[in-house]
Chains A and B, each alone.
Chain A
Amino acid sequence: MSFKARWFRLFTLTSTFLVWAFIAAGVGTVLVRGVPLLPLAFRLPELVFAVKLSLLTSSLSTLLCLLTALPVAYALARQSVPGQGFIVSVLRLPLTLPPVVSGVCLLLLFGTTPLGRALADLGLKLVFSVPGIIVAQYFVNLPGLITVLQAAIEGVDVRMEYVARTLGCSPFQAFCRVTLPLIRNQILAGLILTWGKTLGEFGAVLMLAGATRFRTEILPIAIFLNMSTGDMEALMVSATILILIAFITLGAFERLGIKMY
């Protein structure tokens, strides 16, 4: 190996190690303090509540994301409509918006407009409520799932759907019987990624659903509240649980043989 090749190899490997060490140090600092306190999670009613609410809301919002993202991704991948560029830009906006700004948008939409009042009259109060958590998580994470699924659908040769149609399938049947099985892994990857991100959603949730103990207290909100009141033990346990869930998510990716890049 030439000197230049060795130098380049050394440079890339050193960069990798330094980045790894930076991330490991950050995460490790919490884990070292948080893991021994984990049994506490089962004894603190507040944390039990936060874990249960986090799992419930993130699962529901992920399911909602999937149900909406699939048809939208299909339309973007397979159909062209006038002004598609503008439509796509608006659809992807929450991807680049700071989550706090997304939360402000939702708070104003559901708190100050006739739409919010109409929904509240129908019994669906979204401001400072549990449904608000789900809507905030959904709003912020939907565009990511749409993007993943759109890329997956575009990767399937559309002519296979055409052939399926000549063999008697309607467009929906062709999608279900040909495209859907072929993008199964990408759907799973998108779901896991979305679930992990909804679980950690903070800014938008804080703005729309607020931070009320034993009411809208999901894990990131619990971290925020415990930090505010100086309850470091509960803070460490909440953060550790979220880190462990992130590890499990990555493990699931590995098991499914899915690449995140």
Chain B
Amino acid sequence: MKVKLTLEGIAKKLGDFSLKEIFLEVKPGEYFVILGPSGAGKTVLLEILAGIYPPDQGKIWLGERDITHWPPEKRRFGFVYQDHALFPHLTVEGNIGFGLRDSRLNPLQRKQKIRETADLLGIAHLLSRQPHTLSGGESQRVALARALITRPPVLLLDEPLSSLDPPNSGDYSRSSKGCTSSSAASLSM
């Protein structure tokens, strides 16, 4: 699905914190980076985009569709949090395949798709591991694989390079860009 993502005057107040009138447009296939100091509201903006919080005002468009009031499960944007938020009760394989549970794939196809995605990110050898045994970089790749496997129209990455050293961060950047070439847009904070 090749569509652009548009934010029109998005504003949100959460307690003492507020985001004021944000306008931006992310073109299909574009890798869009937003920079800002801690506490600037980057994560909240991503959560509004994912549908977790509704904006107080403004509109969000995905192509020609107004998705402002769509819940996260209808938007199905890929989301990778800064600390990855892996499900600790599931293995790496369970985490990556989580979004495929209700898909029409049979167990074999599902396993194959998990394997393909894990291969793409170089984490196939980790599939049977538990999340708490992974390094920061490994768990980041698992979180990325979990977000990518459903081929989301938009990929939202919160501080994607924060837990990686410089050589690994370049590697991760390239692989996330490569993996998202089929997605409409990626937003990285």
B and A form one assembly: yes
A165 touches B87 (CB 8 A): no
User: With an 8 A cutoff between CB atoms, is A162 at the interface?
Assistant: yes
Expressed in whole angstroms, the minimum distance between the Cβ of A29 and any Cβ of chain B is: 45
Known: A168-B99, A170-B73. A163 touches B150 (CB 8 A): no
Expressed in whole angstroms, the minimum distance between the Cβ of A163 and any Cβ of chain B is: 5
With both beta carbons as reference points, the residue of chain A lying nearest to B82 in the complex is identified as A159
Expressed in whole angstroms, the minimum distance between the Cβ of A177 and any Cβ of chain B is: 8
Complex Cα distance, B88 from A177, in Å, reads: 12
A159 touches B81 (CB 8 A): yes
Complex Cα distance, B102 from A253, in Å, reads: 36
Complex Cα distance, B152 from A166, in Å, reads: 9
User: With an 8 A cutoff between CB atoms, is A167 at the interface?
Assistant: yes
Counting chain A residues whose Cβ lies within 8 A of the other chain, the interface size class is: 10 to 19
Q: Which residue, of A165, A166, A169, has the highest number of chain B Cβ atoms within 10 A?
A: A166
B75 touches A166 (CB 8 A): yes
User: With an 8 A cutoff between CB atoms, is B41 at the interface?
Assistant: no
Cβ–Cβ < 8 Å partners of B102 in chain A: 168
Cβ–Cβ < 8 Å partners of A38 in chain B: none
User: With an 8 A cutoff between CB atoms, is A160 at the interface?
Assistant: yes
Give the B interface residue count (CB, 8 A).
25
Expressed in whole angstroms, the minimum distance between the Cβ of B177 and any Cβ of chain A is: 20
User: With an 8 A cutoff between CB atoms, is A39 at the interface?
Assistant: no
Partner pick for B79 among A157, A163, A181, A182, CB 8 A cutoff? A163
Cβ–Cβ < 8 Å partners of A166 in chain B: 50-52, 72-73, 75-79, 147, 152
Cβ–Cβ < 8 Å partners of B89 in chain A: 178, 181-182
User: With an 8 A cutoff between CB atoms, is A164 at the interface?
Assistant: yes
Query: Considering the complex, which residues of chain A in the window 141-174 have a beta carbon less than 8 Å from any beta carbon of chain B?
Result: 157, 159-160, 162-170
B146 touches A162 (CB 8 A): no
A162 touches B79 (CB 8 A): yes
Known: A162-B50, A162-B52. A167 touches B88 (CB 8 A): no
With both beta carbons as reference points, the residue of chain B lying nearest to A159 in the complex is identified as B85
Expressed in whole angstroms, the minimum distance between the Cβ of A20 and any Cβ of chain B is: 36
With both beta carbons as reference points, the residue of chain B lying nearest to A174 in the complex is identified as B73
Expressed in whole angstroms, the minimum distance between the Cβ of B156 and any Cβ of chain A is: 8
User: With an 8 A cutoff between CB atoms, is B159 at the interface?
Assistant: no
B residues in contact (CB < 8 Å) with A: 47, 50-52, 71-73, 75-79, 81, 85, 87-89, 98-99, 101-102, 146-147, 150, 152
* Sample of 13 more A-B contacts, CB < 8 Å, known A166-B73, A166-B152, A168-B101: A160-B85, A160-B87, A163-B81, A164-B98, A165-B52, A166-B52, A166-B79, A167-B76, A168-B76, A168-B150, A177-B98, A178-B87, A178-B89
24 contacting pairs across A/B (C-beta < 8 A):
A160-B85, A162-B50, A162-B79, A163-B79, A163-B146, A164-B87, A164-B98, A165-B52, A166-B51, A166-B52, A166-B73, A166-B78, A166-B147, A166-B152, A167-B99, A167-B147, A167-B150, A168-B73, A168-B150, A170-B73, A177-B98, A181-B89, A182-B88, A182-B89
A residues in contact (CB < 8 Å) with B: 157, 159-160, 162-170, 177-178, 181-182
- Nearest first, the 8 A-B pairs at minimum CB distance are A167-B99, A165-B72, A166-B79, A159-B85, A181-B89, A166-B72, A162-B52, A160-B85
